[in-house]
């Protein structure tokens, strides 16, 4: 049974704290993604990685950084948490699409974790 796991289901932090969200997948997928989900806005891509130590900015990278030291693990870091980062954070993984970086990205199935609901007070 394929799985994407996230380190916490619920997290409460204070403004200014450094926050680490961890994601682990057991499917040997090359691609990993971090999204945030807010009502009425759908899922918005924060960062994505297509290989170890590689990262690409998504649509809303400001205030976030990521780390991918091992293929199965992708971490999202909030350097100094702010109240507007209160949200549901979803991690996903997928197989690499060879057309992706050169165009013709067909889009393989993304497998999602259960999400981390982060509240910043």
Partner 1 sequence: TQLLEQSPQFLSIQEGENLTVYCNSSSVFSSLQWYRQEPGEGPVLLVTVVTGGEVKKLKRLTFQFGDARKDSSLHITAAQPGDTGLYLCAGARAYKYIFGTGTRLKVLA
Which residues of the chain form contacts with partner 1 (CB under 8 A)? 4, 33, 35, 40-45, 48, 50, 56, 58, 90, 92, 97, 100-101, 103-107, 109-110, 112-115
Task: Give the whole-angstrom CA distance, residue 50 versus residue 22.
Answer: 17
Q: Which is nearer to partner 1, 35 or 74 (CB)?
A: 35
Q: Of 6 and 75, which has the nearer Cβ to partner 1?
A: 6
Q: How far is the CB of 93 from partner 1 (least distance, A)?
A: 11
What whole-number distance in Å separates Cα of residue 84 and Cα of residue 21?
A: 16
Centroid of chain to Cα 13: 18
As a whole number of angstroms, the distance between CA 83 and CA 53 comes to 29
Nearer to partner 1, 16 or 114 (CB): 114
* CA 32 centroid distance within chain: 7
Q: How far is the CB of 30 from partner 1 (least distance, A)?
A: 12
* Shortest Cβ 3–partner 1 spacing (Å): 11
Q: How far apart are CA 86 and CA 62, in angstroms?
A: 14
């Amino acid at each position: 049974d394929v799985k994407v796991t996230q380190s916490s289901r619920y997290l409460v932090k204070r403004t200014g704290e450094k926050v680490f969200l961890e994601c682990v997948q057991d499917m040997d997928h090359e691609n990993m993604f971090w999204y945030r989900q807010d009502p009425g806005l759908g899922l918005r891509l924060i960062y994505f990685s297509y290989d170890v130590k590689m990262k690409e900015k998504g649509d809303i990278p400001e205030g976030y950084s990521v780390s991918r030291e091992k293929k199965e693990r992708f971490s999202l870091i909030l350097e100094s948490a702010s109240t507007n980062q209160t949200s549901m954070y979803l991690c996903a993984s997928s197989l690499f699409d060879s057309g992706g970086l050169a165009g013709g990205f067909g889009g393989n199935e993304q497998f999602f974790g259960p999400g981390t609901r982060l509240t910043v007070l």
